[in-house]
Amino acid sequence: MTANPLRLMAVHAHPDDESSKGAATMARYVAEGVDVLVCTCTGGERGDILNPAMDRPGVLENIAEVRRKEMAEAASILGVGHRWLGFVDSGLPGEGEPLPEGCFAVQDLEVASAPLVAAVREFRPHVIITYDETGGYPHPDHIMTNKVAVEAFEAAGDPARYPGTGEPWQPLKLYYMVSFSREWFTAIHEGLLARGLKSPLAEMITEDWFEGMPQLTATTRVTCGDHFGTRDRAMKAHATQIDPEGPWFSTPNDVEREIWPTEDYQLARSHVETELPETDLFAGLRGQTVTG
């Protein structure tokens, strides 16, 4: 065992991202006694109402407050700590449209990274998970989230950088989430059909749908199927963003566990020796004396 509890930090762009990407992994580690902190870069202020049942008077006008309450409920369900980093949602402008003034995606890198560096130095995570360089999909806030997470991973341990944000701390591993890969979509689609069940994913496994989306190689597959139900409850807590009658909930948890019982990651940086492929984000750390 380690000298101190292991700590995991997940860095996300908007409230609800933590529940749709890596949530079962976090729930598994929480159940194992790992300390987990979610850092959310923006408040999701420019989000639309994506659940028809929530499209009612007053909700959109108070979307920031509503989403803060949703995030608090989701964090409670997952058993994780949570920190807002305080930036404003950039929205998803159309092609050629400028980003809103003052939004997260237009911040200088050091300005955008400073709150996360402070969070890393305070929480002292051993592992950080976030999106790859493409953001997982081309939302400006997701792309900026990758940039600040990499910056924090590389800078938080350097006492000369980001003065006034706490004592230096060097995280040991950085992972990119391999979310909703073509391989995953295809396996779930074919697995449902093979069981005589209707698949909602037929249109999503076409070439057009995956155009421009990253196809990362998974180095680390974390078995977490026992926590898919917790993941789903956390997703549904984001009631403005998630339609409980939508396709994401059409695959029964037991069927999903049979087809694809893991959430997958790509190891992007490591300061410890580890052997790939891995089945644990803390591979190379367990059994070692972890300071902090």
Q: Within a domain: residue 280?
A: no
Q: Is 14 annotated among the ligand-binding residues? A: yes
pLDDT at 281 over 60: yes
Q: Is the pLDDT of residue 2 over 50?
A: no
Instruction: State the total domains in the chain.
Output: 1
In a domain, 38, yes or no: yes
86 in any annotated domain = yes
By percentage, how much of the chain surpasses pLDDT 70? 95
Residue 238 assigned ligand-binding role: no
Grouping H, G, I as helix, E, B as strand and the rest as coil, residue 87 is strand
* Separation of alpha carbons 8 and 12, rounded Å: 13
* Tens digit of each residue's pLDDT (9 = 90 or more) over 202-216: 877 776 666 666 779
CATH number of the domain to which 59 belongs:
3.40.50.10320
Report whether 82 belongs to an annotated binding site.
no
Looking at residue 259, what is its pLDDT?
97
- What per-residue confidence (pLDDT) applies to 257? 98
State yes or no: pLDDT of 80 exceeds 70: yes
Block residue for tokens 């058993």: 79
Cis peptide before 163 (omega within 30 of 0): no
In a domain, 150, yes or no: yes
- The pLDDT value recorded for residue 290 is 65
Q: Is the pTM of this model over 0.85?
A: yes
Expressed as residue numbers, the domain containing 68 is 7-180+217-270
